[in-house]
Amino acid sequence: MKNTLAERLATFLAAYQPFSEIPFEELVSVAATLQIRTLEKNQILFKVDDPLHPFFYIVASGAINLSVVADAEETLLNRCETGEILGLRPFFAKNNYMMTAKAREESIVYGIPIDTFRPLLLTNSQVLDFLLQSFASTAPRNSLSTMGKSGLVNDTVRGPEGSTELQYFQSLSYDKKPLFVKASDTVQVVAQQMTDNLKQSAVILHNNMLLGVVTEHDLSSKIATGRLPLTAACQLIASKNYVFVPENTSLAEAQLSIIRHNAPLLLVSADGTETTAITGVIHLSDLISAQANNPGLLIKEIKKALSVSELKDLREKMTDFIQLAIEKKVPLSHVCAITGEVNMALIKRCIDLAVLDYGSPPCRFAFLSTGSQGRKEQLLKTDQDHFLVYEDVAIDRVTAVREYFLRLSKRTTQFLSDIGYSECPNKHMANNLNWCKSFSDWIQQYSDWTSKPGLKNQENPGIFFDFELAAGEAKIEESLWEHVMSVVPKNKKFLAYLANEAIKRPPALGFFSKFNLEEDGEYKDLFDIKNRAILTYVEIARVIALSREIKGSTNTYSRFKQLAMLEPKHADVYQVASEAFLMLLKIRTNEGYKSGSDAAYIATDELSKSDRERLKSAILPLKELEEIVKSKFQLTFFS
């Protein structure tokens, strides 16, 4: 006979993550074992310091508040509503609950047995990833090894929108200098050494043989409870619940090892076995800390940030991610794509905060990023480039609408500046009346640029052809692109103008392939990697992509990749150019983090010999690209 109740419960679970990732037949088996609990308003499901339940929970109806009490004041961390999960601590930690779950109203929750659910994680990495990120997002920061007592993660228990693919690239920061102690050392001595060295554990060795590991949990559960005295030998309280992993273990692999073996920590060795020396310890808190810096979670935190100071802290977290990703050789195209999404989320949240100050917009609009932000190539804190388009309104509303969006743009620009994005020196920002106007005015602007290129005193409008929506109406962005693609590809004179601007930049290399350095001024004897190399690639990719009617991505790397498919004759040149461009970005980014600047100018004599050779190799394809440009466009218009 079918268990119709279990099937109904499984149908409910299947509508929500992570259960939607599990085959329905397996969900029915889980549903047959779950516990149904009805809670009255203000009834507590579990509270701080309660022993862990054998269940985790999903809200079936109503709402559950998660809170902590500090200095006699209750602080609400989160509210879990229908379909959201809570109470994941028993999965990932051994100590008691660290927050209180209390019904906000009459509620029903389903308790899902952890022993029943755990085996499903071993065959489904997406479910595992969701649960660990959910746990990370609701864990108090002061439970993390590296965060310190700085408040609480402001996040929900929902999973991030981003892909989990990155976690198979993302490496872990962990304790690479384990504390080693002797078996004869007393618990008191070991505890003091752990405190003095800020360690969460101590590895017990005897004649280079591993006897066990003492953890903070062992101290609290076996000593603080009075089961053994402080004078006991540490070996008596040591745990043997650990797993060996190799030194290059990724975040996802570490997660899976902890779940598969129900182990509180991982021991790191060169080959992942106990036959080689222990070189590190990975604690659960290291995984949670890594998750807290995961871009998917960063975007979620950004969306819920309530102040510019919070956004500034989150921007710093992204900086940490970029540095780690580059060090661990994550493909730079991948890093650029993810960083671009985080940058866009920061811009959008700044706009949201500005709207809170000035009220709802009077009409639909689009806030568009340009320059490196629009191309998703902004790995450093470079300057802002953006413009705003608002829909056409009745003549009697024009002045009020324009004034609103100028105020909004000024506040947004200030917020972005406070986060760390300096204002554009050329004033290519939406707080400039020239770059904050109606859709019709923008159509006229693009028509003017394309019909009258190269006018005296007219600056190169190229970056305004690299735009991407940061906030607002996607239809406005789409309509603007439709206009651009209707007037640019067939306008040979304008394309020739863009092409001429691209190849007339000062050359990067001189005779004997020596770097052309700045001869005077503030940057004397430095190499202008931005203008002499990076932007030449950007502008060549842009003009050829526009001529081929490529839209959908303004990223330079992606443009070259698409051109390689469209033009087999030049495919090899475009492929090499795409990789060379990424190499230039990588060199600039590394130098920027070393110097704490935007690294537009770099000291080539301070580069390693291999980096100097890489820099030269990344510049050399420009010569072939320039020949392609000369053959494609009638540069005699502007000779």
Structural domains in the chain, sorted by start:
4-117 (2.60.120.10), 122-300 (3.10.580.10), 305-485 (3.30.460.10), 492-638 (1.20.120)
Per-residue pLDDT reduced to its tens digit, 444-471:
999 999 988 877 666 779 999 999 999 9
Q: Which residue has the higher pLDDT, 294 or 505?
A: 505
- Take residue 5 and report the two structure tokens written for it: 């109740």
Return d(Cα 440, Cα 398) in angstroms, integer.
Answer: 12
For residues 277 and 275, give the distance between their C-alpha atoms in angstroms, rounded to a whole number.
7
* pLDDT confidence tier of residue 248, bands split at 50, 70 and 90: confident
Q: Is 187:231 a contact under the CB 8 Å cutoff?
A: yes
Instruction: Give residue 581's pLDDT.
Output: 94
- Which percentage of the chain shows pLDDT scores above 70? 87
- Mean pLDDT across the stretch 216-233? 84
Residue 610 — pLDDT band, cuts 50, 70, 90?
confident
Q: For the chain, what's the residue count? A: 639
| Residue 361: how many other CB atoms lie within 10 Å | 16
Query: Are the C-beta atoms of 34 and 93 separated by less than 8 Å?
Result: no
Q: What is the pLDDT of residues 16-52, one digit of tens each?
A: 888 888 888 888 988 999 999 999 988 999 988 888 8
List the 265-269 sheet strands across, edge first: 242-246, 265-269, 278-283
- The pLDDT of residue 137 is above 60: no
> Which of 118-127, 167-176, 458-467 bottoms out in mean pLDDT, i.e. has the lowest?
167-176
Q: Report the run of H or E that residue 28 belongs to, with start and end.
A: helix 24-31
Per-residue pLDDT at 251? 73
> What average pLDDT does the structure give for the chain?
84
**pLDDT digit string, tens, across residues 383-442:** 899 999 999 999 999 999 999 999 999 999 999 999 999 999 889 999 999 999 999 999
User: pLDDT tens digit string along 527-554?
Assistant: 999 999 999 999 999 999 999 998 777 8
Tokens of 392: 């056409």
Structure tokens at 294: 């995961």
Q: Is 206 helix (H, G, I), strand (E, B) or coil?
A: strand
Whole-angstrom Cα distance, residue 619 to residue 532? 9
What does the pLDDT read at residue 82?
A: 86
* Strands 527-528 vs 601-602: parallel, antiparallel or unpaired: antiparallel
Looking at per-residue pLDDT, the higher value among 159 and 179 belongs to 179
For range 5-14, the mean pLDDT: 88
Note the pLDDT of residue 170.
Answer: 53
CB 173 within 8 A of CB 286: yes
Q: Are 548 and 563 in contact (CB under 8 A)?
A: yes
Pairing state of beta strands 265-269 and 55-61?
unpaired
Predicted pLDDT at 146: 28
Does residue 619 have a pLDDT over 80? yes
CA atoms within 13 A on the CB side of 593: 16
How large is the angle between the packed helices 251-261 and 125-138, nearest 10 degrees?
90
Lookup: tokens for 132:
């660990």
Name which of 232, 198, 206, 202 is nearest 217 in CA terms: 202
Q: Please give the pLDDT value at position 363.
A: 96
Overall pTM > 0.95: no
Does position 139 have pLDDT exceeding 50, yes or no? no
**How many Cα atoms occupy the beta-carbon half-sphere of 295 within 13 Å?**
28
Place of tokens 């004397």: 524
- The closest alpha carbon to 245, from 214, 262, 209, 270, belongs to 270
Most confident of 59-73, 257-271, 366-380: 366-380
- Strand pairing category for 55-61 and 180-182: unpaired
- pLDDT band (50, 70, 90) for residue 92: low
Q: φ, ψ for residue 219 (rounded to 5)? A: -65, -40
